[in-house]
Chains A and B, each alone.
Chain A
Amino acid sequence: MRLTRGFPAFSCAFAIAYLISMYFHPIFTLFTYAPRLGQWFPGVPEAAGKMAPGMYWYSWLATALMAGIVAGSVAALLPDGKPSRAWSAAVWATPLVLIAVLLYVERTWFGFK
């Protein structure tokens, strides 16, 4: 088993899980950082309004990292073989699709309904 064989799967899973965590916040938010207090809280605290602003970005990264490690480990455990062309295409197509979804999700900041 070569660990590096799992890298492409890690990357795709990381980015997809990050977008899912962000979009479906707070379902996959593991912890919250309160920058004014300099403290970390598990999940999204009920008193989140009092400690505002809460930062969830670190949690989304942690969720993405866990998803990436799981997917990468599974891919590394699969039988040896060269990565297919389809897999190579998925590696560069995934970020393009995710970027398009991200821009759509964030469109309201820029005045689009």
Chain B
Amino acid sequence: MVTYLFIFHGLCAVALLGAITHQAASVWAPVKAGDASFLGRFRAVKAAAYVNAVIALFLITFLIGAVIYPTYRVGARIYMEDLRMSKPVGSFEVKEHLVSFALGFLPAYWYYWRLPHAPEHKTVRKMLALILALIVWTAFLVGHVLNNIKGL
């Protein structure tokens, strides 16, 4: 069961990565008129349309992570501690705290993105999208590397 949950956790994380990266790219590097390249199309999305998907995917990924976390704690983490692999263990600690920060900022993220054309909130919308994207990317990469060291 944990294996299925772990795989689903990873799949949701991939979908979340895609959604938040599309959004962050579209607000930080808006597409120029006539740019039909791959990167241009990647950025040519309606950023506000991703808000609910980002929140839903984050919550699902987070909840599954919370369920499978004890398996990591008594398995992979102890394995790495026995091998004195402090950097991977510390990386997971950082990931754990970063995603907790991100969880807390989802209501503010929703609040400022619910009116995507309010000019007074443009900066906060861009910054929250960027911060969420950086956290999601960090969490994904840390999880991926740790799974390569010792899977659940």
Contacts and interface: CB of A to CB of B under 8 A. Distances in A.
A7 B107 contact: yes
Given A92-B128, A95-B101, A36 B120 contact: no
Interface centre among A35, A96, A103, A108 (most CB of B within 10 A): A35
Mostly helix, strand, loop or mixed at chain B's interface?
helix
B111 A60 contact: no
Interface in B93-144: 93-94, 96-98, 100-112, 114, 120-121, 123-124, 127-128, 131
Contacts of A1: none
Contacts of B69: 55, 57
A92 B123 contact: yes
B101 A18 contact: yes
Nearest to B88: A109
Interface centre among B86, B91, B104 (most CB of A within 10 A): B104
Interface of A: 4, 7-8, 10-12, 14-15, 18-19, 22, 33, 35-36, 53, 55, 57-58, 60-61, 64, 68, 72, 82, 85, 88-89, 91-92, 95-96, 98-99, 102-103, 106, 108-111
Interface of B: 66, 69-71, 73-74, 77-78, 86-87, 89-91, 93-94, 96-98, 100-112, 114, 120-121, 123-124, 127-128, 131
